[in-house]
Amino acid sequence: MLLSSGAQRVENEVYPNLGRLLSNLCTTVAAFAILAHLLSITCPPEEARARIRRWFVALLAVVSAMTSLFLATPLPPVIGDFGPLYRDRPALVGYMLVFDTFLGWALTSLAVITLRYAGPAARPSLRGGLRIVTVGCVLGIVYLVEKTVMLVAQWWRLDPPVPGHDGPCPGLVHPPGCLFSVGLPVSAALAITIGMTLPAWGPAVAAPLRYRRTYQRLKPLWTALATAMPQIVLPRSGRDRFSYHYGVHRRVIEIRDALLILELYRDAGAERRAETAARGAGLDALRSAAMREAISVRMALTAYQCGRPPEGHTPSAPLTEPRLLTGQEGVDAVNGEPGVDLDSEADWLMQVSSAFSASADLVDLVDWQDDPGEDTPGKRL
């Protein structure tokens, strides 16, 4: 905004090329602010404060040097780039070199931080945002390198290595000089802005797709339970009854209602054998727990369809502790009691549903280990 043609005409009335100075100073302050923010959330407090102080001192030095060099170089009012003015004004060259060096240093440090912490980031939106910031930093560094080369070439009265810097830019990518002087900085600023804000708005934008995926992955378990126990299916009502968020919420409640009904049909002895079978499948801790629960649900559902609990039945509580596996505590989606929030509950039941689809063979193995010669109600769904 400070460098628009109309703004520069007004600024030139106050002081020649004041808009260029203000724009460059605002850019250095913005780079410092972004870097300080990331340092404050990625480093221990003491280290972050020390590094931010060093960067602040560097910022003050750069602002002072740029302002002094700019004021020491009388310039005619210019709309746009300084261009040939660099040839006989070494103080102006120094002004731009100080600006380019500080901004390049800040972007390099920012790229190192985002690249380092993108991989371990737990949330996909944060991980993606940091990687987008890294891309923006790389684009900004390329822009600064080309700008510095052009600056030195003009100062030494050499031919520009990239044509197209000697006139107004009709577009962002053509001629080539406009790609470097306009396209790259705009893309870099846009990428850094999107990456820094993505963790705030990204989850809300992606929520419909995430709930659709969850809704579909809950289908195998929900279908089996709803077919055997149609009384668990609740009528849809409300303005949002056709949304996937509503559908996931209903399926979680209906599955939990079915599991409460099946609790009487769970056999602790069979569950111990199911645990052995799940461990033998070579799964990680989360998938092994989900497989164990899926086998238990399938066996209890078979017993329910036969009309009676297994003989010698000893009730066993269902495995409903996803918070131990996901680390997310909140309010139970069904009972409103301390437990897990809807997303964590849905994620856990989604794991169980996926395991349920693959558990039929393991149920046969568990039943065979129980008594290979006896036909019991828990044999097969």
Report the SS3 class of residue 331. strand
- Determine the Cα–Cα distance for residues 225 and 227; give it in Å rounded to an integer: 5
User: Do 370 and 376 form a contact (C-beta atoms < 8 A)?
Assistant: yes
- The alpha carbon of residue 331 and the mean position of all alpha carbons in its chain are separated, in whole angstroms, by 24
What is the C-alpha separation between 18 and 151, in angstroms, rounded? 20
Residue 274 has a pLDDT of 62
The yes-or-no verdict on residue 133 having pLDDT over 80 is yes
* b/e code 94-103 from CB counts within 10 Å (16+ = b): bbbbbbbebb
d(CA 313, CA 332): 28
Identify the sign of the CA torsion 249, 250, 252, 253: positive
The neighbour count for residue 326, using CB atoms within 10 Å, is 17
- Answer for the pair 346, 216: CB distance below 8 angstroms, yes or no: no
Angle made by CA atoms 144, 147, 153, in degrees to the nearest 5: 140
Chain segment 289-333, per-residue pLDDT in tens: 888 888 888 888 988 988 766 555 555 544 444 433 333 444 343
Position 336 scores a pLDDT of: 37
pLDDT digits (tens, 9 = 90+) for 30-72: 999 999 998 998 889 999 999 999 999 999 999 999 999 998 8
